[in-house]
A and B are shown apart, each in its own frame.
Chain A
Amino acid sequence: MNAPAQIAPAAIVEHISFAVPGMHCAGCISKLEAGLAPVPGIVGARVNFTARQIAVAHLPELTIADIRAAIAAIGFDSEPIRDAGALTDTRESRALIRATAVAGFAAMNIMLLSVSVWSGADGATKDLFHLLSGMIAIPTVAYSGRPFFRSAWSAVRRARPNMDVPISIGVILVTALSLFETLIGGPHAYFDGAVMLLFFLLVGRVLDSVMRDRARSGVAALLKQTAPGALVVMADGGTAWIAAECLEPGQLMIVPAGERFAADGVIESGASSIDLSLLTGESAPERVSAGRIVHAGTLNLEGPLNVRVTAAGPDTAIADIARLMEQAAQGRSLYVRIADRAARWYAPAVHTLALLGFAGWMLAGAGWHQSLLISAAVLIITCPCALGLAVPAAQIVAAGALMRRGVLIKDGSALERLAEADRALFDKTGTLTLGRPEPVDLGPIAPARRPIVLALAQASKHPLSQALRAALEADGVRPVSLDDLFEEPAFGMRGSLDGHVVSLGRPMRDQGGDLMAVAFTLNGDAPVLIQFRDALRPDAAPTVHRLEGLGLICSIVSGDRAVAVAPVAQALGLTAQTAMHPQAKLDAIARLAAGGRKVLMVGDGLNDGPALAAAHVSMAPASASDVGQTAADAVFLGDSLAPVATAILVARRTMRIVRQNFVIAIAYNVLAVPLALVGVVTPLVAALAMSGSSIIVVANALRLRGAAR
């Protein structure tokens, strides 16, 4: 409606989505949609603000790069999204929402009929109303109960009972018994209880699933796409763009500056420097030339390279790390969530009680019909409504509070594990530090020359240039316009201003060429050296203190050399292990876990991936590689490290609330079960008790709304 889409008739239209993390208001929506619509080749654009994404329908002749350029022209950074997996996740949520809607509809209508029965309808009217209730309830139970029945069945088959087993048995038994009651014209039918129970529990499930989806789409929006493919020299001498998964060993790919390698390979010709931070966590770029091996996912910084592919797709070094990660993650899947741990005690207790009630009344000579009704009442009154709703309600409220503070929690189990952590391991580059260079001091550049430096820096994609540009722009410097601006491979930028030659690039070796630095020259004057460092994240030191105050012993595990780690370790007062490979980090975690520690791993790089997956719980900054973000349980946004401590604090408060809710639920059962055993629980009492206890636990969970403040 807001997007004036031009419909190109009878054309093949392709669809692609981009993550646009920079949009934050209605103006951004209209700017993006209205700005893209007139671009030739774009058929339509639609923003999804919740996911911070834009879906673009375009003609096939437009490439991904063209659309990104169009979005950049409007003033937004964007990343193309490969949307695998995301679809099935939302489908699961959708199915749950549909089941909940059906259960809600049925519960309301049955309640309508039940209220008239409770207010005194009897005889034929009561039987008719029971029959109508049954006709609504039975299809509802069959449809809306499926998520529970499925999960209960698989739990029984694996001999690992969960919450869904008593729920399924209770609901089916109560429905069957009520049907029997209705057919013989008995006094009580519990259809309303069974359906209301399903409704409350489904609300809990929906909350749990919505929480997972919301965090996932948030993370997906931040995912950086590693090279989707490469330009390959074909047999006939021409070039063609080939997708990463179709590359084959032996092919020659041309990788321009500023692009990532799509496959492992050996450099045939060209010289450049590459950013290996994805693999090693090392932030300083590394010089490369012919004969050097390069890995998929690393970034070519300076000049074009011709690379002979040696391994592609599943054979690359990245894929190896991914496999290591998959194996590491298997340990974590053994974690049993708190609700299921409670169910291990709860289910047998409830079933024993129901059975005892049945046996007791049989012995007392009440007859099997009356005894069965009593045990059904026990099952429905003890059905873990409060438990099934209490845990997800507390967790989604806490996750919402954390999300407003810039922490995305992937699921409820992550919050539970976060609360248990008692040992913290930090990666250095990109985690304790920002992972991007920052100029140490702009002082050496005379103010009059700053606009020239900015103009040179703006034209390059090199991380040092980008850092310099950001620092200068933050100072309010405006660029001058330069002539003959060009990027000289393996050096930097050159240009001219009123006939003077200006340059910004790699310093000569004798001027400290090994440092992270760039040199600015004007007309052959003595070069001005600008040094860079990888600064600590703001709040790094207070965060470490807060974590230690919370009882988490912190230390550093880094893939970097000891010399590079030492200043950071000193500044934060932490012990550090250095030069660690992904496997070594895994071993360190395994040793701590064997000692009974619950390790929180905070890391960002691909090299941290296995450790993030293996640790008891893990967090990654939003600037992390997508492997890091995928492996981590929680992602924190922004530069500050403070959200790590906040997340631990909120997770612990959440678990306190969850435990309180368990106590409330147990207290409720202690009151209600004797009533059920005595046989005074009518459908009316069951309905009141059930809604009452649910409201209390949800209200208690809502106290977490301000937990992250």
Chain B
Amino acid sequence: MTGLTLLIPLALGLGLCALAAFFWALRSGQFDDMDGAALRILIDEEDEA
């Protein structure tokens, strides 16, 4: 029982953190351009400089 008082809030807290992180990502526009994000890693930045 004593373990539960620690583990349950911990589990819920971690879940809430993930939820908050998802909301933050959604708000900061990380899901706005899914196809573009996949392509941007291919851009060679050295060439542009």
- Complex-state Cα separation, A94 to B43, whole angstroms: 29
A9-17, A48-56, A486-494: which lies at the interface: A48-56
Q: Which of A18-39 contact B (CB under 8 A)?
A: 25-27, 29-30, 34
Contacts of B48 in A (CB 8 A): 2, 4, 30, 34
Contacts of A128 on B, CB cut-off 8 Å?
4
Quick one: which of B12, B16, B35, B42 contacts A50, CB cutoff 8 A?
B35
Assuming the contacts A48-B33, A50-B34, A51-B33, asked whether A101 and B8 have C-beta atoms less than 8 A apart, the reply is: no
Contacting pair B39 A29 (CB below 8 A): yes
Contact indicator B23/A101 (Cβ below 8 Å): yes
Within 8 A of B (CB), among A607-665: none
Contacting residues, chain B, for A109 (C-beta < 8 A): 11-12, 15
Known: A49-B35, A51-B33. A26 touches B40 (CB 8 A): yes
Is A101 touching B35 in the complex (CB atoms < 8 A)?
Answer: no
Contact, CB under 8 Å: B33 / A98: no
Q: Name which residue of chain A comes closest to B12, CB basis.
A: A109
Mark interface residues in B11-49 (1 if CB within 8 Å of A CB, else 0): 110011011001100100000111110011011110011
A25–B38 alpha-carbon span in the complex (Å): 10
Of the listed residues B4, B23, B33, B34, the one surrounded by the most CB atoms of chain A closer than 10 A to its CB is B33
A290 at interface (Cβ–Cβ under 8 A)? no
| A214 vs chain B, min Cβ distance (A) | 10
Q: Are B26 and A94 in contact (CB under 8 A)?
A: yes
Minimum Cβ distance to chain A for residue B41 (Å): 8
Residues of B within 8 A of A391 (CB): none
Question: What is the distance, in angstroms, from B4's C-beta to the closest C-beta of chain A?
Answer: 8
User: Are B32 and A48 neighbours in the complex by a CB distance under 8 Å?
Assistant: yes
Chain A residue numbers with a CB within 8 Å of B16 are: 105
Cα–Cα distance between A51 and B35 once the two chains are bound (Å): 9
Contact B43 A29 (CB under 8 A): yes
B34 to chain A: which residues have CB within 8 Å?
Answer: 50
Say whether, besides A30-B48, A50-B35, A94-B26, A2 and B40 are in contact (CB < 8 Å). yes
Q: With a CB–CB cut-off of 8 A, which chain B residues contact A319?
A: none
Residue of A nearest to B8 (CB): A132
A191 to chain B, nearest CB (A): 14
Contacts of A445 in B (CB 8 A): none
In whole angstroms, how far apart are the Cα atoms of A109 and B48 in the complex? 48
Q: Flag A105-137 by CB within 8 Å of B: 1 or 0 each.
A: 100110010000000000001001000100010
CB closest chain-A residue, reference B40 = A2
Complex CA–CA separation, A47 to B42 (angstroms): 15
B18 contacts across to A, CB distance below 8 A: 105
Whole-angstrom CA separation of A93 from B44 in the bound complex: 34
Taking the nearest CB of chain A, how far is it from the CB of B37, in angstroms?
8
- Residue in A closest to B48 when the chains form the complex, CB atoms: A34
CA–CA, A105 to B21, complex, Å?
Answer: 12
Q: A102 and B19 in contact (CB under 8 A), knowing A4-B48, A30-B48, A94-B26?
A: yes
A442-456 residues with Cβ-Cβ distance < 8 A to B are none
Q: For chain A, which range describes its interface: under 10, 10 to 19, 20 to 34, or 35 or more residues?
A: 20 to 34
Chain A residue at minimum C-beta to C-beta distance from B32? A48
Residues of A within 8 A of B40 (CB): 1-2, 26, 29
Complex CA–CA separation, A34 to B47 (angstroms): 10
Interfacial chain B residues near A51, Cβ < 8 Å: 33
CB distance from A111 to the nearest CB of B (A): 11
Please, which residue of chain B has its CB at the minimum distance from the CB of A47?
Answer: B36
Contacts of A97 in B (CB 8 A): 26
B residues in contact with A30, CB < 8 Å: 43-44, 48
- Closest A residue, CB atoms, query B27: A94
In the complex, per-residue mask of A43-67: 1 if CB is within 8 Å of any chain B CB, else 0: 0000111110000000000000000
In the complex, A30→B34 CA distance in Å?
16
Say yes or no: A112-B11 contact (C-beta < 8 A), given A4-B48, A50-B33, A105-B18: yes
Residues of B within 8 A of A26 (CB): 39-40, 42-43
Q: How far is the CB of B10 from chain A (nearest CB, A)?
A: 12
Expressed in whole angstroms, the Cα–Cα distance for A51 and B22 within the complex equals: 22
> How near does chain A come to B16, taking the closest CB pair, in angstroms?
7
Give bound CA distance, A25 to B40, whole Å.
Answer: 9
Report the Cα distance A4→B34, complex, angstroms: 21
| Distance between Cα atoms of A217 and B40 in the complex (Å) | 20
Residue of B nearest to A4 (CB): B48
Taking a contact as CB atoms under 8 Å apart, the answer to whether B36 and A98 are in contact is: no
Nearest CB of chain A from residue B34's CB, rounded to whole Å: 6
Set of chain A residues within 8 Å of B49, measured between Cβ atoms? 4
CB contact under 8 A between A29 and B11, given known A2-B43, A101-B19, A105-B19:
no
List A residues 53-100 near B (Cβ within 8 Å).
94, 97-98
- The residue that B26 contacts in the complex, of A48, A49, A98, A125, with Cβ under 8 A, is A98
Most chain A beta-carbon contacts within 10 A, residue among B12, B15, B36: B36
Question: Which of A2, A27, A132 interacts with B45 by CB under 8 Å?
Answer: A2
Bound: A65/B22 CA distance, A: 39
Which residues does chain B contribute within 8 Å of A25, judged by CB atoms? 39
Contacts of B36 in A (CB 8 A): 29, 47-50
Chain A residues with Cβ below 8 Å from B22 are: 101
- How distant is the Cα of A50 from the Cα of B12 in the complex, in angstroms? 35
User: Which residues of the other chain, A, contact B12 by a CB distance below 8 angstroms?
Assistant: 109, 136
Distance, CA A1 to CA B35, complexed state (A): 16
| A49→B23 contact, CB < 8 A | no
A2 cross-chain contacts in B, Cβ below 8 A: 40, 43, 45, 48
B39: chain A residues at CB < 8 Å are: 25-26, 29, 49
CA distance A2 to B43 in the complex (A): 8
Closest approach, in angstroms, between the C-beta of B35 and any C-beta of chain A? 5
CB proximity of A321 to chain B, nearest CB, Å: 34
Give chain A residues whose Cβ lies under 8 Å from the Cβ of B45: 2
Minimum Cβ distance to chain A for residue B9 (Å): 10
- Nearest CB to that of B22 among chain A residues? A101
Return chain A residues, CB-CB under 8 Å to B19.
Answer: 101-102, 105
Interface residues of A in 139-189 (CB under 8 A from B): none
Given A48-B36, A101-B22, 9 extra CB contacts under 8 A: A2-B45, A48-B33, A50-B33, A50-B34, A50-B36, A94-B26, A101-B19, A105-B18, A112-B11
- Interface residues in chain B, defined as those with a beta carbon under 8 Å from any beta carbon in chain A: 1, 4, 8, 11-12, 15-16, 18-19, 22-23, 26, 32-36, 39-40, 42-45, 48-49
In the assembled complex, 29 residue pairs joining A and B whose CB atoms fall closer than 8 Å, in A order, are: A1-B40, A2-B40, A2-B45, A2-B48, A25-B39, A26-B39, A26-B40, A26-B42, A27-B43, A29-B36, A29-B40, A29-B43, A30-B44, A30-B48, A34-B48, A47-B36, A49-B36, A50-B33, A50-B35, A51-B33, A97-B26, A101-B23, A101-B26, A102-B19, A108-B15, A109-B11, A128-B4, A132-B8, A136-B12
Q: Top 3 A-B pairs ranked by shortest CB distance?
A: A49-B36, A26-B42, A26-B39
